[in-house]
Chains A and B, each alone.
Chain A
Amino acid sequence: MIHQRSIRELRDSITRQEVSVTEVVEGFLDRIDQQEEKVKAFLSVEAESARAQARALDEKLAQGEALHGLLTGIPVAVKDNIVTEEIRTTCGSRILENYVPPYDATVVRSLKENGAIVVGKANCDEFAMGSSTENSAYFPTRNPWDLERVPGGSSGGSAAAVAAWEVPGALGSDTGGSIRQPAAFCGVVGLKPTYGRVSRYGLVAFASSLDQIGPLANSVWDVALLLQAIAGSDARDSTSVQRPVEDYLEDLGKDVEGFRIGVPSEWFSSGLDPQIEQAVQGAIQKLEGLGCVVKEVHLPHTEHAISTYYIIAPAEASSNLARYDGVKYGYRSSDASNLEDMFRSARSQGFGEEVKRRIMIGTYALSSGYYDAFFLKASKVRTLLKNDYLEAFKEVDFLVGPTTPSLPFKMGAKTTDPLQMYLMDVYTVTANLAGIPGLALPCGFSQEGLPIGLQIQAPHFEEAKLLRLAHALEGELAVERPELAVDQ
């Protein structure tokens, strides 16, 4: 079955011309046709343009043209908060329901230049605000391992599409865990790179000091290849870092003996599901078996991470989302009597509940009288959280622990209690606040057959070494994949 193949396998088959790009694309479009009604991972599927691109690539291959793209003929999904030229980009919001961008995000341009085929836009929580994809203004995405459960969020569409084999790889964005948490919930690999490693040009801004685009796929190798294609500095994003991009593939397969692994005791405190703890501890033993040196470390300010994040991220969001006023693009209410009224109507009718809540929290935290107690205070605690990492990374090369405190939860279970939803991000937000890379790796399945993901975090710009460790652990764990709920 073509749709069960990894990017690595597909790439080899296409290069050797054992399979045409059209066959690959048709294979995945067929799979999307079969699964989409159940999974609902896509806000749009671009079947015709995907077929046309496939034909064009096949013609080039038939003429013996050497194609040097890293991803020639590989179908990918792109989260719908990443703009795509001539393809509607909604951010999962009604306010952008009819927005058709006139340009590609830099990462989309990089994918295309490398021969990848964008087959669709993946569902997400509105403006990437959420941990379950239930905040999409259009419909919720379902977890392919249990259709009554959430896929995580906010990149839930990207993760579910990869898990259900609707695409072999996808891009997501991660502001507080939005790649890693859905990757863990869906049993796929997801990487949030170092802040600044990947251009944010064309990523619709949520919290600009935290947002980062990253890849999701079914293996570490595939994630490394996708990162290779999108990493690098960009003149259009002044926060992208001018630093050479490493070769993320060349060290995959090398041993990891002597790597120093820190296990933060704060990540195994109360509130962690015992099945997740057991699976993660089992994986840590495997790391020891691979010759890694494991030791306990401390991140003493972890208990303040959620408070810090849920002040800073909404504060930045309240500023970034001020641009939605119904003037240049987006929803405009027809019943406004004057300009001021038009702004208020567009925003009040166009934004969903959670987005409004975060704009309100952010505006409150930045407002005169509360700025010092909230935004300034949180920005200082951000320094403490970052220093926790700097201290830990003096002693160890990596931190390993869980990605999520709970298994994928039932749809609707947390929608009425936003704070409970926020607490899902406890192990992921600190990487964004400190700007370090983090990777979610499947490490087992629960008794109910739900995926469990561990998390590896590394110092700034250590993606190559991080992927090397994850690749070694992935091989050692050799997690057996039960049959998907959608295939039963």
Chain B
Amino acid sequence: MAITTKEIEKIADLSHLRFTPKELQLFVDPFQEILDYCAQLEALPTDTVEPTYHALDQERATPMREDQVQASFSSKQALANAPDSSDEHFRVPAVIE
């Protein structure tokens, strides 16, 4: 299953990543090699097998707790790592003209 440059560009777009033409050139072969290796699973019959998404399905209780208000970060703390902020908000480039 040979992957095309166009497909890689599509995946990069979905991933919100950009590659320079030179980066893309270096990216293709290892990516193809890894996909080919992983595609070996195809030969394994799994029609009757249920998928596993969590290692401890039986014990996965994710118990509900009382919905009580608890102390949380102040907006100052929450904004402390923001690259750009204004008053009590994160600031980003304009979305609406």
Q: How close is A282's CB to chain B, nearest CB, in angstroms?
A: 32
The 3 closest A-B pairs by CB, nearest first: A435-B55, A379-B51, A329-B81
Contacts of A153 in B (CB 8 A): none
- The chain B residue sitting closest to A243, CB to CB, is B59
Per-residue interface assignment for chain B, residues 14 to 37, with 1 indicating a CB less than 8 Å from any chain A CB and 0 otherwise: 111111000000010011011101
- The chain B residue sitting closest to A423, CB to CB, is B37
Q: Is the CB of B44 within 8 A of A304?
A: yes
Question: Contacts A99-B81, A339-B95, A363-B11: A325 and B49 contacting too (C-beta < 8 A)?
Answer: no
Q: Is the CB of B35 within 8 A of A328?
A: no
A359: Cβ under 8 A from any B Cβ: yes
CA distance A348 to B52 in the complex (A): 32
The residue that B34 contacts in the complex, of A327, A383, A422, with Cβ under 8 A, is: A422
Q: Which of A310, A327, A342, A436 has the most CB of B within 10 A?
A: A327
Contacts of B19 in A (CB 8 A): 348, 356
A34: Cβ under 8 A from any B Cβ: no
Q: Is the CB of B82 within 8 A of A328?
A: yes
Q: Is the CB of B34 within 8 A of A419?
A: yes
Within 8 A of A (CB), among B47-89: 49-56, 59-63, 65, 73, 77-78, 80-84
Q: How close is A418's CB to chain B, nearest CB, in angstroms?
A: 5
B2: Cβ under 8 A from any A Cβ: no
The residue that A460 contacts in the complex, of B49, B51, B56, B84, with Cβ under 8 A, is: B56
Contacts of B30 in A (CB 8 A): 357, 417-419
Contacts of B92 in A (CB 8 A): 327, 339, 342
Q: Is the CB of B55 within 8 A of A363?
A: no
The chain B residues found within 8 Å of chain A, CB to CB, are 8, 11-12, 14-19, 27, 30-31, 33-35, 37-42, 44, 46, 49-56, 59-63, 65, 73, 77-78, 80-84, 90, 92-95
Contacts of A446 in B (CB 8 A): none
Q: Is the CB of B35 within 8 A of A344?
A: no
The residue that A195 contacts in the complex, of B51, B56, B62, B63, with Cβ under 8 A, is: B56
Q: Is the CB of B90 within 8 A of A239?
A: no
Q: How close is A300's CB to chain B, nearest CB, in angstroms?
A: 11
A-B contact pairs, 23 of them (CB 8 A): A99-B81, A307-B38, A327-B92, A328-B90, A330-B83, A338-B94, A339-B92, A344-B17, A347-B15, A357-B30, A360-B8, A360-B12, A360-B17, A360-B27, A361-B34, A367-B14, A373-B39, A377-B42, A377-B46, A380-B50, A380-B52, A382-B51, A386-B52
Q: Is the CB of A98 within 8 A of B81?
A: yes
The chain A residues found within 8 Å of chain B, CB to CB, are 98-100, 102-103, 194-196, 209-210, 235, 238-239, 241-243, 301, 304, 306-308, 310-311, 318, 322, 325-332, 336-339, 341-345, 347-348, 351, 356-357, 359-361, 363-365, 367, 373-374, 376-384, 386, 417-419, 422, 432-436, 460
Task: List the count of A-B residue pairs having beta carbons below 8 Å apart.
Answer: 171
Q: Is the CB of B55 within 8 A of A209?
A: yes
Q: Is the CB of A357 within 8 A of B31?
A: yes
The residue that A102 contacts in the complex, of B18, B60, B73, with Cβ under 8 A, is: B73
- The chain B residue sitting closest to A364, CB to CB, is B11
- The chain A residue sitting closest to B50, CB to CB, is A383
Q: Is the CB of A381 within 8 A of B14?
A: no
- The chain B residue sitting closest to A103, CB to CB, is B73
Q: Is the CB of A310 within 8 A of B38?
A: yes
The residue that B55 contacts in the complex, of A342, A381, A386, A417, with Cβ under 8 A, is: A386
CA distance A422 to B34 in the complex (A): 9
Contacts of A341 in B (CB 8 A): 93
Q: Is the CB of B41 within 8 A of A307?
A: yes
Contacts of A103 in B (CB 8 A): 73
Q: How close is B64's CB to chain A, nearest CB, in angstroms?
A: 9
Contacts of B83 in A (CB 8 A): 326-327, 329-332
A209-B53, A376-B51, A377-B42 given; name 16 further pairs at CB < 8 Å. Answer: A102-B80, A102-B81, A241-B56, A242-B63, A328-B82, A342-B93, A360-B31, A361-B31, A374-B38, A377-B41, A380-B46, A383-B49, A383-B50, A384-B44, A386-B55, A434-B55
Q: Which of B8, B51, B52, B92 has the most CB of A within 10 A?
A: B52
- The chain B residue sitting closest to A196, CB to CB, is B56
Q: How close is A200's CB to chain B, nearest CB, in angstroms?
A: 13
- The chain B residue sitting closest to A102, CB to CB, is B77
CA distance A117 to B77 in the complex (A): 24
CA distance A321 to B50 in the complex (A): 27
CA distance A307 to B34 in the complex (A): 8
Q: Is the CB of A329 within 8 A of B82?
A: yes
Q: Is the CB of A364 within 8 A of B80?
A: no
Q: How close is B73's CB to chain A, nearest CB, in angstroms?
A: 6
Contacts of A432 in B (CB 8 A): 55
CA distance A373 to B44 in the complex (A): 11
CA distance A384 to B18 in the complex (A): 37
Contacts of B39 in A (CB 8 A): 307, 373-374
- The chain A residue sitting closest to B83, CB to CB, is A332
Question: Contacts A239-B62, A382-B51: A364 and B35 contacting too (C-beta < 8 A)?
Answer: yes
Q: Is the CB of B54 within 8 A of A363?
A: no
Q: How close is A202's CB to chain B, nearest CB, in angstroms?
A: 13
